[in-house]
Structure 1
Amino acid sequence: MTLTLLTGPAEEPVSLAEARAHLKLDATEEDALLTALLTAARATLEAETRRAFVTQSWRLTLDDWPPRPIELPLAPVASVTAVTVASLSGAMLPLDPAFYEVDAGGEPARIAVKHGQAWPMPATRLAGIAIDFSAGYGTAADVPMPLRQAALMLAAHWFEHREPVGDGAKLPRTVSALVKPYRRLRL
């Protein structure tokens, strides 16, 4: 199972202006660094929570169909945009959406073949199945405030503490507390 980002977020959940105001910065010479830290903070917290904050497009690639419904590894899922299977020619052929059903509102979101149907077997043993989906809360304004605040605080923490830290570095406690309710557990 491989998860690939197809299209990243159109914006960060925290703007440069918000970060500059939080840090009480008037000068603009460190805007490039601060912008990079905002992106890094978002990516770190998305990985920590297994969520996409601002809407993004992803592809889940599988070798074979699992015996149970397929669980999509990110939340919240807005839609499944395509399910494709490798043909003998090597082309990825789309499946008709009427062939499968999607529970996008669940966590994890799931996709399953409809009753009485069977998934078509891919013509290749490796990466013969691709599921394209969009995940995220929507725009930056739609991201829950605790997640936005955590991204802001993490970027500010990194801005103010630029020295490298040793192995096993953890998120600051306040940031960890803000994201805790949004973490998706792995079993």
Structure 2
Amino acid sequence: MANRYVAAAPEFIPVPLSALKAHLKIQSDAQDAVLTDALNDAVDLIERYTARYLAQREVIAHVDELELGGSTMASPYAWLKRAPVLDDAVSTVVVDGTSLPPTDWRLKISGEQAHVHLLQGVTSVAGALPYPLKITFKAGYKTAQDVPAGLRRAVLELATHLYTNPGDCGGCEGGGSSASEIPASIRAKLSLYTIRRVFA
């Protein structure tokens, strides 16, 4: 069973409505609600495609299995597959309903990614209840200015595409509300920002 993540709503949208309206040369306010929906949908699609949150928020990772430690830290760990994660991001680690004290786990950061190592006696969560390990942490950029310019451009381009092609996905693979709605040209740019494993 794959780990799953439940995230709070973002605190901001990295591209303001005014920027999208300027890009589309729209001066009227009549389409503001539709344009706002396009921005929100673009952010959601990009976040799911890259596993990168464009605005900081609280996230709960529901972890079904641990991974083996590496050469630098032998204890088993949970890989938080969302980014960017900051040094003080993790607030609680709960195993089978019991909150572990901070001395029983350690957050290890590499670049924008993070592992939570379990140090005291917990060697496996396999075979227990579904998603027995829950980790509450914060991930995402603190301000719109912190979001890389390439990602902000991708939001603008995808929102433009969604607005100008309502109900149509020409040039996309598949259909429906999923990352497959992202045109190939934008996906190529997003590949530079997609979270991939960088350490063991």
TM-score bracket for this pair, using the shorter chain length: 0.7 to 0.9
Q: Could you tell me which residue of structure 1 aligns to residue 106 of structure 2?
A: 101
Partners in 2 of 1:121 and 1:70 — Cα distance? Answer: 10
Aligned 1:1-187 pairs, distance under 5 A? 1-68=2-69, 69-78=77-86, 79-86=89-96, 92-106=97-111, 108-114=113-119, 117-119=120-122, 125-165=129-169, 168-169=173-174, 171-185=182-196
Q: Could you tell me which residue of structure 2 aligns to residue 89 of structure 1?
A: none
Name the amino acid aligned to 1:72: L
Identity fraction in percent? 30
Q: Could you tell me which residue of structure 1 aligns to residue 73 of structure 2?
A: none
Shift of 1:30: 0.9
Partners in 2 of 1:180 and 1:2 — Cα distance? Answer: 22
SS in structure 2 opposite 1:175?
Answer: helix
Partners in 1 of 2:187 and 2:131 — Cα distance? Answer: 35
Q: Deviations over 1:40-72 (max 9, x none)?
A: 101111111111111021111124544442111
State the Cα RMSD in Å: 2.5
Name the amino acid aligned to 2:94: T
Normalising by structure 2, we get a TM-score of 0.78
Shift of 1:107: 5.3
Name the amino acid aligned to 2:115: R
Give unpaired runs (5+ residues) of structure 2. 70-76, 175-179
SS in structure 2 opposite 1:104?
Answer: strand
Partners in 2 of 1:15 and 1:148 — Cα distance? Answer: 10
